[in-house]
Amino acid sequence: MEFLNNFVLPQSAEHIELLHYMLLILLFLFIPFISIVFGGTILSIIYDKKGSKENSDYHSRLAKEIIEITTINKSVGFILGVAPVFTAIIIYSQLLHNSEITNLNYLVLALLSVTVALIFIYSYRYSLSFNNIFTSISKKDLSDRIVLEDVNKLSDESHRISKKAGIFGVVFLFIGLWFFVTAITIPSVYTNWNADSFIVGMFSWDVVSRFIFYLFFALTLTGGMILFTFLEDEKKKRIKDEEYSLFVKQKIIRVTFYNAVFIPLFLLIILFGMPENSLTGTVFTYSIFSLILLFFGYHFLYLLTKQIKGTTAALLFFALIFSIAAFIISDQKAMMTSTKFHSAILSAEFDNYFAELKGEGIIIEINAAELYEVRCASCHKWDQKLVGPAHNDVLPKYLGNEAQLVAFIRNPVKIDPEYPPMPNPGLKPNEADAVAKYLLETYESRK
Ligand code: HEC
């Protein structure tokens, strides 16, 4: 994806943070939507097959209603299914500019697969509705036998084609989502940055466990959404067939339950598999929050098995939506932590670029404290290690040896194996002098 690098502008630290939040919002839109489309298509295909096999009208009707509920309509499919992946490519290429992380290839493949998948899925959806028209014609008491036969034949043919489209759609979406999950997982998991190869990246345990988690969540969320929409429709009295209504509720509650039970297991696997670098307090808190919301979801699901009520279904659906949102935040926080080092390099590049734009060479009074805040404080604290060591631990050896400190700041060398190497902060000689003096003086005065 070399060409993407050419589009990228240097970003200030504030912009980088903003990009992280944009990414978060985009995932909030994309992940729930695409999960529901995925789950809805699978359920619809299964019920449609059952409907044909057992000649059960209820199953066929449910198949059609599910795909209509879950795919909303074509334009929503494009806005929530394709546009976010495209935007994610642009954001990631900014955030990970010049890094060794190679998640853009996966994202581009995800974009292609998801687009193809949605085309198939929407053809499935519209042809299924179309198909129902045939079925209803052939059910009418047609006096002309020949016409009836023709209509039946046409109906079978169109049904066969629509089923194929549905299956292709699911397969492409499955692959597309796998690429997507790989792409968003790699930057969150520091140790995976240098995945040995394209395939190893996809099959690494971090990626696979997240992918399975998302699959179970997709089906659970789909169940929640169907129950919610279905009960809403019922409230508005659009569905009058009591027996059918009971059939749907029982089926969907069961599907939702069987998928929901596996989620906590994978959530914990993901959490405990996270490398120490990424697993901060915030990440942990959001994951636990996600788990708690999920347990609320279980509770509402349980209530639904006792008594079917619209408000309970709504609560179930929202508990699930917020649970997945909390998980997304947790994963993105992990990414912010593991790319912090890289972000600091990028914003240092920005500062250089900006200084060049302003025109250097003019003697400006150097404000060492400010320079330190901007260039160093993102990685260092005085009494606590951050990305780099605490100053209090390393400065003693430079007391009375300022020149060596200046040399290190101007051209950092690898020192402590516990830390990654410090990137060159790109200071000019006089700036490095000022910062070194500032560090030693502050150290003395803090004693
Ligand atoms: C991107 C993060 C990052 C930034 C920005 C950064 N450092 Fe560091 N710094 C590190 C890391 C990581 C180490 C540990 C390097 C090692 O031990 O090899 C380090 C080590 C040091 C050390 C200890 C060297 C030693 O002898 O052990 C000093 C002093 C230091 N940094 C000063 C600075 C100053 C001054 C700035 C700002 C001009 C700065 N750092 C900016 C990450 C950073």
51-63 pLDDT, tens per residue?
Answer: 889 988 889 889 9
The region of weakest confidence among 78-87, 263-272, 335-344 is: 335-344
* Atom of ligand 1 lying closest to residue 414 CA: 18
Given a cut of 90, whether residue 150 has pLDDT beyond it is no
pLDDT-above-70 percentage for the chain: 89
For a substitution probing ligand 1, which of 336, 372, 380 has the most ligand atoms within 8 Å of its CB? Answer: 380
* Atom of ligand 1 lying closest to residue 405 CA: 29
Residue 171 backbone zone (phi > 0: left; psi -120 to 50: alpha; other: beta): alpha
Q: Is 110 or 159 the better-scoring residue by pLDDT?
A: 110
The predicted model gives 418-443 an average pLDDT of: 86
Q: From CA 28, how far away is CA 330, in angstroms rounded?
A: 12
* C-alpha of residue 418 to centroid of ligand 1, in Å: 12
Q: Kindly tell me the burial class for residue 403, based on how many C-beta atoms sit within 10 Å of its own C-beta (0-12, 13-18, 19 or more).
A: exposed
Q: Which residues lie closer than 8 Å to 33 by C-beta, 6 or more apart?
A: 76, 80, 81
* Predicted pLDDT of residue 145: 66
The pTM is what? 0.74
Residue carrying structure tokens 């003096």: 437
* C-alpha of residue 422 to centroid of ligand 1, in Å: 5
Question: Which residue has a Cα nearest atom 32 of ligand 1?
Answer: 409
The predicted model gives 384-410 an average pLDDT of: 88
**What is 363-446's CATH number?**
1.10.760.10
Q: Which residues lie closer than 8 Å to 78 by C-beta, 6 or more apart?
A: 118
* Predicted pLDDT of residue 72: 85
Tell me the C-alpha to C-alpha distance, in Å, between residue 317 and each of 22, 49, 69, 293: 24, 27, 14, 11
* C-alpha of residue 368 to centroid of ligand 1, in Å: 16
Given a cut of 70, whether residue 192 has pLDDT beyond it is no
Nearest CA to 64 among 80, 45, 50, 78?
Answer: 45
* Predicted pLDDT of residue 362: 45
Q: From CA 130, how far away is CA 142, in angstroms rounded?
A: 19
Residue carrying structure tokens 């998640």: 103
Given a cut of 60, whether residue 146 has pLDDT beyond it is yes
Tell me the C-alpha to C-alpha distance, in Å, between residue 183 and each of 38, 170, 269: 19, 20, 19
For a substitution probing ligand 1, which of 376, 392, 433 has the most ligand atoms within 8 Å of its CB? Answer: 376
For a substitution probing ligand 1, which of 342, 343, 372, 379 has the most ligand atoms within 8 Å of its CB? Answer: 379
Backbone angles phi, psi at 424, to 5 degrees: -65, 120
The predicted model gives 225-251 an average pLDDT of: 83
Q: Is 305 or 350 the better-scoring residue by pLDDT?
A: 305
* Predicted pLDDT of residue 141: 58
The predicted model gives 400-410 an average pLDDT of: 86
Q: From CA 112, how far away is CA 42, in angstroms rounded?
A: 20
Q: Give yes or no for a contact between 287 and 272, defined as CB atoms under 8 angstroms apart.
A: no
Q: Which residues lie closer than 8 Å to 343 by C-beta, 6 or more apart?
A: 13, 16, 95, 336, 378
The predicted model gives 309-324 an average pLDDT of: 92
The predicted model gives 230-243 an average pLDDT of: 77
* Predicted pLDDT of residue 368: 81
Given a cut of 90, whether residue 205 has pLDDT beyond it is no
Q: Give yes or no for a contact between 255 and 219, defined as CB atoms under 8 angstroms apart.
A: yes
The predicted model gives 160-178 an average pLDDT of: 93
Residue carrying structure tokens 């052939």: 138
Tell me the C-alpha to C-alpha distance, in Å, between residue 25 and each of 84, 87, 146, 329: 10, 11, 57, 10
pLDDT classification of 3: cutoffs 50, 70, 90 = low
* Predicted pLDDT of residue 359: 62
The residue extents of the domains of the chain are 2-341, 363-446
